[in-house]
Structure formats: structure tokens, C-alpha cells
Chains A and B, each alone.
Chain A
Amino acid sequence: MEEQVKRIMADVLDLDDGAIDENTGRDNVDAWDSMKHITLCLALEEEFKVSFEVQEIETITTYADVLDVLRQKL
């Protein structure tokens, strides 16, 4: 799952997937604005066939958060 998440983040946020780690977050990735955030969440939903509640979308601020939220769902 980690690899898949990294690849999606890399595509959406235009990052090198090797450079993504626990700390990669909205604070340190310029491209990760509010619009990209929604795009990212929707891409994750599609890829993992899950659905996020708005509260969950708002909780996510880092790569680690993505994994947390997804683990609860899968």
C-alpha cells in the first residue's frame, strides 16, 4: 500500500516518489494546495475504492496521515 500511495502522491503533487517520507506534508510541499489536496484525496478514493468523509479529508496533512486514514478503511 505504501508504494501505491507514494506513486499517487508523486503523480498528483509532481514529486519524485523516492523523495516521499513520513514528513512529506502540506507544510513542505508547495504544490500541495487546497485544490491539489482534494484531487489527491479523490485519486486515493478511486485507487483504493474507498470513500472519505469530509472530516477525514480535513485530517490529512501528511503522507503519514494518508496511511493512517487508509489503514482504518481497508
Chain B
Amino acid sequence: MTDAGEQARRLFEDMLEHGETVRAIQAARRLVTEAPGLRQWTFIRRAVERVSAERLGLRKIRVALLSSFSIEFIHDALIAQGFLNELEVEIYQAGFGQFRQEILDPASGLYASKPQVVVLALDGPRLFPFAYAGYLQHLSGGFDQLLEGAEREIEAWLGGFRTQSDATVLIHNFAPSPWRPWGVLDDRVGLGQGHLVASLNERLDRLSRAQRGVYVVDYAGLVSRVGSERWHDDRMDHYAQAPIAQSALPILACEYMKYLRALTGKTRKCVVLDLDNTLWGGVVGEVGAMGIELGPQYPGSAFMAFQRAVLDLSRRGILLALASKNNEGDVREAFARNPHMLLKPEHFAHMEIHWGPKSKSLEAIARKLNIGLEHMVFADDSPIECEQVRSACPVVTVIQLPKQPEQYVRALLEEGLFDGLEHSEEDGKRAELYQQRAQAEAMMAESGSLDEFLRNLETEVALVPVDGTSLARVAQLTQKTNQFTTTTRRYTEADVSRYASDPVWSTTAIRVLDRFGDNGIVGVMLARQDGAVLDVDSFLLSCRVIGRKVETVMLAHLCDQAKARAARRLRGRIIPTKKNEPVRDLYARHGFQRVTVDETSGEVWELDLEQQRVEYPQWLAVVTPTDGRKA
């Protein structure tokens, strides 16, 4: 191992020992970069397991691995990578090839382990030999029936599983065989083998889309990205039923981690970029707007490709921001004059262009956009700037861009830090929404009082029951909201869907419009009736609309709902977290009485509806489906 590797190891162990989780994660990341290798994952896993997960503040997530081959070899990488994401991954490993029995038997160890995520790592050659070793034998008879049979079989597994568990299912699709019996004539003699596997995958995609909480892991795509020959170890396939090469296992674990991050609210929301030698080549202050490397010729073409990838992130709903040491005039000129600039000033939610330290810029951006530093990614080519940010803002994920600009796109996307499991209409116009918010803030600064501000804002709040159209966004909000959330309970689409169709539950999505535009769905209330009590399970609001009395409207609406259900009391709970300071006084300032305080379940607050209610505030128009009119 290199000296840097040894050094990272020692630092990692030292930080672990002191319970400095974030610093230990930094050191572990450095270790796997400086001295990559199988044994590092084993080493990290073991070191982490020696310290209690509680002391490290890791969040536990139970993952069941079911497979048609030996997948046990992935455990070290999966647990170690979990640690890099502040997760304690607890694995239930089903016996090799036992996945059918485990799924079909309600008393199996699988269900006893109460998994939150189940990985169905199925491999084509073992499961559906007709598309692999048995291909030629079946060719003359056609594949329609076999494909249909395969689809029904998978459907039965998924369906059987769903009757027992609400866990999120990650199911592998199938990689095509690297060797075709017909060689170059594949697809000319009946249905080609390549096509056959593709049809199997299409059917799998269709099945997964039809079921909530089932996601296809694009295993075929991974194998093709890495290369079938590098991905597979034929020797171990035959000898130990372990077809995946050891060097490929961390890549597969990294793929699973994308889902685990999304399910635990760790999807990054914002990327903060440097400019010189990051978004373009050269230093604009020295070579000028037209002298920077950006355009159809190398290396300009590589920087353009990187800008395109960043722009795509913005289209997905990831916020972009700049942290650059430059003169603002030079930067403005580059954006205005260079014809190859794909990114425009309007794509950035905020810019920090000055000579101060980048950590200060990141903090300013976090404040301005009202998101946590832990949801930010910083990308810069300079090792010095990266180190400064790592040291001053350790929770920020730092991507130190490689030497060659053609490798930037990979560096940005490889870990899937921005990958979420839900996409909503709101995502596509996020940058625009933040600009509206900036305008609203400017107006607030000019307004004399809060009332005047609210009046000028012309806010309209629509409260509608959660339905198919809002499901994805509602689940996404429960997963992403950290500040104005009373209980920080995370729900999947499957969970929300269940509550929405259960009459005991009242589920409401809150949409906010104002004179600057439609903010989309920004709030959620999930409440459950328990006899005479309407119990608020979740109450959350996006930080974009905090401070505008929307929460008062929401509580007033809950009072109406409780009345309609003949409930006599409204009950709410505050479970304190590091992040939810802004919501702590929600119930207190709306006249609720504190009933109990408990260390694990938090504070319980109640409002006696026979004596009191929460009134709708002035200056906000309220729309509900029951009256269909504006109040």
C-alpha cells in the first residue's frame, strides 16, 4: 500500500475511535481512492463494526439479499460503502438459490428479518436457461411461450412478496450472453439471442412499472459499462457459483447504494461548481472571455461535454451554484460573450464570485438556498480548494476533478449522488422556483411589515387529498424534507399509496401559488384517525415557503378535517432532530397543549377542538376540494 494509503488508514482508525464519524468517512474515502482494493472494504467494514453504530450516529437500514448465485462476497463492500453514507447496513443473506422458498413462505427468515430493502439478484443463465445455454435447443419452437412463462414467474414472485412485505424491491435485469451460438448470424436465424434477453428485460421493466416500490437495477447496463470480460470471473462462476469478479462487486454495491441513499433522504440537492479549469479550460481573468478553452476542439469539447452533463442535472431538478475566485466582470463577460457556453447565468440558483475562501461561499449558498451542507456536492479541479472545503465543511461531498477534463463527466456522475427514486413536475423547474423565491425575498425586504408582505405576495394555498398525480411528489417530500418536518418520517410511494386509500388516514398535499408563479406541491399532511383523536403522523413543508403562514392554513384545515370526522381532539408530535429546529414551536404557537414528553417518541401536543380551533390567517386565499371555492 502507498504511504498515503497507510496514512489514510491510520487517520480513519483514529477518527473512528474518537467517534468522529464525518472525519472517519473522509479518511475512508481517501483510503479507497489512494489504495483501491478488495481488502480495504474488508478493513473498513471490520473497523466500523468494532465501534457501536449508535456512537457513530449511523442510521440503520435492513437489506435482504436474495440471489440465484453466490452474492455473499459483496457484503464487505456493501457494509463499508454504507458507512461512507452514514448508514449501518444490516444484511439478511438468504441461502444460495433459496430465493423462491424465502419469498413464498410467509414464515421464512426473509420476512422475519423485516427488511426495508430487498435485492433480487437474479442471473439469467441460472434462472432462464432457455435464453442462454438452452437457446439453440429452443430456437425452432419459438420463444413466445417461454418469455410469457418467465414473465408470469417473476410476476408471481413480486406479487407473493408484496402480500408479506412493503419493502422496496430492487430486481436485477439480465445481461446478454457474451457468446452467441450463431455468432455473427445472431438475429438472422429466428429471434437472436441478444434480442431475446432484451425482450425478457422489457417484460421485467413493464412488470416493475406496474408495481409500487419495485425498481429494476440495470445490471445489463452495468455489465456493458464495465465490460462483460472485466465484470465476470468465469473461473469463480464454475468453482464457487460466483460469476461476478471481485473487482466488480464494489461497483455493484455502489449501484445499490444509489437506492439506499435515495430511500434515506441522502440524495444530494445541489452541485456547487468552480469555473476556471472546471466549466472551461484556462483562467478567464488571464485569457479573457474568448480565450478560454470551450468549443468543438479538444480540450474545449471535453469542457462542453461537462457543461452538458451539469445542464442535464439542472433539468433533473438539481440546483446549480457557483463558487469561483474571479472578478465578477470577467465571469459575466464569459457567460455573455462566449458562444460555446451551454450554461447560462439563469441556470444557477446562486453565484458566489469573489476572492474569499470557498468554504465561506458554500456556507453562503447553503443559507441562501436554505439547504443543508450535507446535501451539497462541491466540484473543483484544484486539490487545494478541495482540501480547504473538506477541512472547513466536512459534511459537503467533495469531488476533486481528475487531471483530464474528458474524465469530468464520469467523476460527477459515477457515484449517483444525485439519483432519486421519484421524479415530479416540480423537479424540472426547480431553478425557476428558486428565482421566484429570490424575487419574493426582495419584495419582503421592501415591505414594511409581514402582513404587508403577505398581502403583496397574493399567496394562494390549495389543499387536496393525495392521489395518483401527487403520490410521487408527496413521497419525495417525506424523503427530502429535513427542516420543517415534525416527525421526519420517510415514506415510499407504496406507503403513501396505502395511506391514501385507507379511510382511517387523511392525506393532504399542499400546493402554493403566489404572484411570482406556481410553487407546486410544497407541503404534506398525513393524519390518522384514532377514535376521537385525529393524530398527525407527518406534517411538513418545503423550506421555500416557510414564514408565510402556510403552516397555519394547514393546521386550520386539519381542524376542519377533524370536525368532519367527528374527532374531538387534534394530536401532533414533535420528534426533535438536528435539522428540524424551525418546526419545533409549530404546535406551541398555535395553541396546542403539551401532553407528554418522551425521549424516544418526542413531545406530544394536543388541541381540544371542543374549546378551540386554529383559524385561517388573513391575506391567504385557501382552496379546498370540498368547497371548490376560494375562501
Which residues of A are in contact with B by a Cβ distance under 8 Å? 7-8, 11-12, 14, 35, 38-39, 42-43, 46-47, 53-54, 57
Contact = CB atoms under 8 A, between A and B. Distances in A.
B39 A12 contact: yes
A9 to B, nearest CB: 10
17 contacts: A7-B1, A8-B39, A11-B42, A12-B39, A14-B46, A38-B73, A38-B236, A39-B73, A39-B76, A39-B246, A42-B38, A42-B246, A43-B39, A43-B246, A46-B38, A46-B247, A53-B235
B73 A54 contact: no
Contacts of B72: 35
Given A38-B73, A38-B236, A54-B235, A43 B38 contact: yes
Interface string B461-485: 0000000000000000000000000
Contacts of A11: 39, 42-43, 46
A14 to B, nearest CB: 6
Contacts of B73: 35, 38-39
A8 B37 CA distance: 11
Please indicate which of the listed interface residues B39, B46, B73 has the most CB atoms of chain A within 10 Å of its own CB.
B39
Given A14-B46, A38-B73, A39-B73, A57 B239 contact: yes
B37 A47 contact: yes
Contacts of B1: 7
Contact of A46 (B37, B43, B239): B37
B289 interface: no
Interface string B220-249: 000000000000000110011010001100
A54 B42 contact: no
Interface string B28-43: 0000000001110011
B447 to A, nearest CB: 63
A42 B247 CA distance: 9
A8 B46 CA distance: 14
Given A11-B43, A39-B73, A46-B246, A54 B38 contact: no
B12 to A, nearest CB: 13
Contacts of A12: 39, 42
Interface in B1-54: 1, 37-39, 42-43, 46
Contacts of A43: 37-39, 42, 246
B235 A39 contact: no
A38 B37 contact: no
A53 B246 CA distance: 16
Nearest to A14: B46
Given A38-B73, A39-B42, 15 more contacts: A7-B1, A11-B39, A11-B46, A14-B46, A35-B72, A38-B242, A39-B246, A42-B236, A42-B246, A43-B37, A43-B39, A43-B246, A46-B38, A46-B247, A54-B235
Nearest to B235: A54
Please indicate which of the listed interface residues A8, A39, A54 has the most CB atoms of chain B within 10 Å of its own CB.
A39
Interface string B239-268: 110100011000000000000000000000
Please indicate which of the listed interface residues A11, A14, A54 has the most CB atoms of chain B within 10 Å of its own CB.
A11
Interface of B: 1, 37-39, 42-43, 46, 72-73, 76, 235-236, 239-240, 242, 246-247
Nearest to A37: B240
Contacts of B236: 38, 42
B38 A38 contact: no
A38 B239 CA distance: 10
Contacts of A35: 72-73
Contacts of B39: 8, 11-12, 43, 47
Contacts of B247: 46
B508 to A, nearest CB: 51
B330 to A, nearest CB: 47
Nearest to A47: B37
B39 to A, nearest CB: 4
* Among all A-B residue pairs, the 8 with the closest Cβ atoms: A11-B39, A42-B246, A43-B38, A43-B39, A11-B43, A54-B239, A11-B42, A38-B240
A14 B42 CA distance: 9
B358 to A, nearest CB: 36
A59 B43 CA distance: 26
A45 to B, nearest CB: 8
Contacts of A46: 37-38, 246-247
B409 to A, nearest CB: 27
A39 B245 CA distance: 11
A43 B41 CA distance: 11
A14 B76 CA distance: 13
Contacts of A39: 38, 42, 73, 76, 246
Nearest to A42: B246
A53 B238 CA distance: 12
Nearest to A45: B246
Contacts of A14: 46
A38 B245 CA distance: 12
Nearest to A4: B1
A54 B236 CA distance: 9
B7 to A, nearest CB: 15
B13 to A, nearest CB: 13
A53 B73 CA distance: 19
Contacts of A53: 235
A57 B246 CA distance: 15
A8 B43 CA distance: 10
A54 B233 CA distance: 12
Contacts of A54: 235, 239
Contacts of B76: 39
A54 B38 CA distance: 19
A57 B239 CA distance: 10
B209 to A, nearest CB: 36
Contacts of A38: 73, 236, 240, 242
Contacts of B235: 53-54
A43 B522 CA distance: 50
A3 B91 CA distance: 33
Contacts of B239: 54, 57
Nearest to B242: A38
Contacts of A42: 38, 236, 246
